[in-house]
């Protein structure tokens, strides 16, 4: 949690700086007014590539650290899996790609990130299946934790809102779009963002229900 907090501090400050460097794309006549702000803009523009690398590294850490943090809770069998870190990262990357597709005005960029999102969605689905296979081949308490999603109280919410609406349907829509079919451009992106939110919400709450003592 400590290194996660420091990571969030770095990525938040870096993201604000990056946005400030590109503010004229949205407000062409923008003027910082104060000389020290103009000097900062010149400085960071000079080291823009290095700033991008810092953001990339810390963005990956931000995406994976929540899953690693939860997986360290041995008392919660549902969270206690090494797949959780990569799964959170894949979900975050998918949401990021979807956000770019939603906000981009460049057709080539949208097609590129649609392809990237499709690959990440397939990876996310693979990790979910792999996680449940690991649970079902593990101890009894982890089998019971997995059953929260396999007939238990979180089954419908997880498989409908996360897997179907958040992964499979957007993946199918992305494939249709890449093959030239006309679909509402915003629909896959909105579904992916919704699925990413529900995944975190459901998994955190379900993890608090799973425990070693019954």
pLDDT in tens, 139-159: 888 898 899 999 989 999 999
Which residue's structure tokens are 């979807």? 98
pLDDT-derived band at 213, boundaries 50, 70, 90: low
pLDDT in tens, 9-26: 999 999 999 999 989 888
**Beta-sheet strands, E only, within the chain:** none
Neighbouring residues of 160: CB distance < 8 A, sequence distance ≥ 6 = none
Rounded CA separation 123/65 (Å): 18
Domain boundaries, the chain: 1-67, 73-214
Rounded CA separation 17/91 (Å): 25
Instruction: Check residue 10 and give its pLDDT.
Output: 92
Instruction: Check residue 66 and give its pLDDT.
Output: 87
Rounded CA separation 7/150 (Å): 35
């Amino acid at each position: 949690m400590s290194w996660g907090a420091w990571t969030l501090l770095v990525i938040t400050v870096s993201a604000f700086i990056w946005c400030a460097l590109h503010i004229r794309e949205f407000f062409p006549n923008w003027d910082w007014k104060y000389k020290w702000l103009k000097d900062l803009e010149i400085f960071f523009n000079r080291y823009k590539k290095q700033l991008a690398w810092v953001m990339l590294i810390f963005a990956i850490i931000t995406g994976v650290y929540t899953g690693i943090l939860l997986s360290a809770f041995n008392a919660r069998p549902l969270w206690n899996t090494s797949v959780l870190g990569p799964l959170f990262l894949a979900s975050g990357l998918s949401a990021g790609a979807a956000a770019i597709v939603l906000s981009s005005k460049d057709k080539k960029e949208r097609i590129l990130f649609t392809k990237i999102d499709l690959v990440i969605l397939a990876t996310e689905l693979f990790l979910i299946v792999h996680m449940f296979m690991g649970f079902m081949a593990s101890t009894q308490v982890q089998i019971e934790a997995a059953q929260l999603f396999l007939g238990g109280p979180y089954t419908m919410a997880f498989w409908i809102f996360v897997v179907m609406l958040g992964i499979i349907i957007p993946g199918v829509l992305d494939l249709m779009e890449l093959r030239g079919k006309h679909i509402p451009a915003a629909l896959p992106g909105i579904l992916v963002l919704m699925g990413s939110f529900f995944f975190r919400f459901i998994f955190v709450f379900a993890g608090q229900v799973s425990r070693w003592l019954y």
